[in-house]
Structures are given as structure tokens and as C-alpha cells.
């Protein structure tokens, strides 16, 4: 699938699932464009209601600027980004996280212990609880590291000639940053090929940051939704684990973690699990 991303000109000639995905992508663009047209009819620049209104207002402000990047095409594409990057990646990470918790019951036991100690079951949790829950924070980080959801980051271009080690990268060179070697650096993560939340905990059990943690890329071109995504992952997983105990349908040791590939993204395999509550048992997949 990576070939389609590196050589987009070949997409029309190569068979595969990418054609259906590209068709869906075009339908999504049309859907967003229809919403934009609806907003344009009732737009009040003095009282914007949502992201589209703010963007359209900015377009009006810069309509006489030939260098402006605020146009309908970019509005349409940012809408696509919000749908794709803002939903599927978070969804896949949560499903992968639950699968890893099913395979590692000892991790789930420690999470439940921390939940009991910090939150209990008589109140709703909040993002403020994260600072008091180092183990859960470490689990969320380790899930993202271990699954390596997007091995190749989004492409970037060099703005001017760059000397890097023994190489020269000419201006406008397209670069695809590969993150997998960073995730599997044994000098930073002692058990890099294993799922182990201890990678993000110090000897005192406190959360430990790592410069090698970069699921959202790094620098000025890092994902603008990083803060929101990190908050969602923590809160969604806490919500589930505060209310349920997860049990695998079969032997945890037989759970497969082998991912499926969807274009340049890894997604978890389909699986079944028991979500146990005090009142009843539900089978969810």
C-alpha cells in the first residue's frame, strides 16, 4: 500500500482497495462542499457559529490578498483532514489499546487499582485526573508507541538546500519521515518489541517523558490536533475501564496483535471481548 503514497501517479493503473477508498474520499469532499455552501448562504461574520463560519470569514478578510491560503479548496481539504485524522486514528488507537489490555490482564489490574485510588466509581473523571494517574498515562503512551499506527509520517518538503550528515537534500525534495526505528530504539525502550508501560515510568512510578515519543510528529509541522487526541484517548479509555472489566473470549496468550493495513495506517484485527459490569455481561466487538 505504501507504493500508492510514494508514487501517486501509478494509482490509476494499480489494482486494489485504494480505488474504493479514493472514491469515498471524493464523496467526503463533495459532502463538505455542500455544507460550506449552506454556511455561505447564512454567514454572519460578526457571529460565527463553527469552524466553517470562522474560515469563511477569514476568506472574506483576505479576498484581496493574492497570496492568501484561505480558499475553498483548502477549506474542503481541512474538513477531510478533520474527518480522517481526527476520527479513524483515534478510533484505531482505542481499539488497539483495548486489545492490548485484553492480552495483558496484569496491566488492566493495575489500571483498575489506580482508578479505585484516584477516581473511584462515585464521580465522573476529568482530564485533570491525568496528573494523578501516571500508570494510566504511561499505558496510553505505550499503546501509541507499540502499535506504531502510522509508520510513515505525512510527507514534507525541504524549503532550501539542506546538508544532513553526508547527504545534500536539494530544495523541494519530498521527505517521508519513518517513525518505526524511533519506536524500536532499544537504547530508549529497553523492551522495544514488547508492550510494557514501564517504558514511560521512572523507578519511583512517576510518569516519564521521552523525546522518542512522536506519534504526532515533531516540530512546527506536528499534528495540530495533538492536544485534543491525547485528551480523547485518555478520557475514552478511562471511561471504559472505570465502568467495565474486559475479558477475552479465549486464551489471552492466543490473541493476535497482527495489524491490518489500510493505505499507510495499521488498524487492529477484528476481535470479540466480554465487557463485565456488576449488573450484567455484554459481548462487544
Residues belonging to the chain? 285
The three-class DSSP label of residue 121 is coil
Looking at the DSSP bridge assignments, the partners of residue 262 are: 265
Nearest 5°: the CA angle 36, 39, 41 is 115
Whether 229 contacts 89, CB under 8 Å: yes
Distance CA 275, CA 285 (A): 10
At how many degrees (to 10) do helices 89-103 and 105-118 cross? 110
CB 36 within 8 A of CB 75: yes
Annotated binding site for heme: 223
Residues tagged in the binding site annotation: 223
Contact 206, 132 (CB under 8 A): no
Cell of 178: 519513518
Amino acid at each position: 500500500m505504501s507504493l500508492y503514497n510514494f508514487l501517486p501517479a501509478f494509482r490509476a493503473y494499480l489494482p486494489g482497495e485504494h480505488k474504493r477508498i479514493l472514491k469515498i474520499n471524493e464523496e467526503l469532499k463533495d459532502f463538505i462542499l455542500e455544507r460550506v455552501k449552506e454556511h455561505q448562504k447564512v454567514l454572519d461574520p460578526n457571529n460565527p457559529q463553527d469552524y466553517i463560519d470562522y474560515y469563511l470569514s477569514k476568506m472574506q478578510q483576505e479576498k484581496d490578498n493574492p497570496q492568501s491560503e484561505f480558499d475553498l479548496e483548502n477549506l474542503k481539504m481541512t474538513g477531510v483532514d478533520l474527518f480522517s485524522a481526527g476520527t479513524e486514528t483515534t478510533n484505531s488507537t482505542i481499539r488497539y489499546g483495548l486489545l492490548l489490555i485484553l492480552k495483558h490482564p496484569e496491566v488492566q489490574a493495575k489500571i483498575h487499582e489506580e482508578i479505585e485510588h484516584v477516581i473511584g466509581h462515585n464521580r465522573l473523571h476529568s482530564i485533570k485526573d491525568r496528573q494523578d494517574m501516571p500508570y494510566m498515562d504511561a499505558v496510553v503512551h505505550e499503546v501509541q508507541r507499540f502499535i506504531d499506527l502510522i509508520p510513515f509520517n505525512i510527507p514534507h518538503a525541504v524549503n532550501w538546500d539542506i546538508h544532513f550528515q553526508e547527504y545534500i537534500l536539494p530544495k523541494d525534495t519530498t521527505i517521508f519521515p519513518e517513525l518505526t526505528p524511533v519506536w524500536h530504539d532499544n537504547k530508549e525502550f529497553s523492551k522495544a518489541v514488547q508492550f510494557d508501560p514501564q517504558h514511560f515510568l521512572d523507578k519511583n512510578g512517576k510518569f516519564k517523558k521521552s523525546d522518542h515519543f512522536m506519534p504526532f510528529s515533531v516540530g512546527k509541522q506536528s499534528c495540530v490536533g495533538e492536544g485534543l487526541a491525547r485528551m480523547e484517548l485518555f478520557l475514552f479509555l478511562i471511561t471504559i475501564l472505570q465502568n467495565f472489566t474486559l475479558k477475552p473470549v479465549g486464551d489471552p496468550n492466543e490473541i493476535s496483535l497482527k495489524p491490518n493495513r489500510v493505505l499507510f495506517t495499521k488498524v487492529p484485527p477484528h476481535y470479540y471481548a466480554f465487557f463485565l459490569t456488576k449488573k450484567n455481561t455484554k459481548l462487544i466487538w
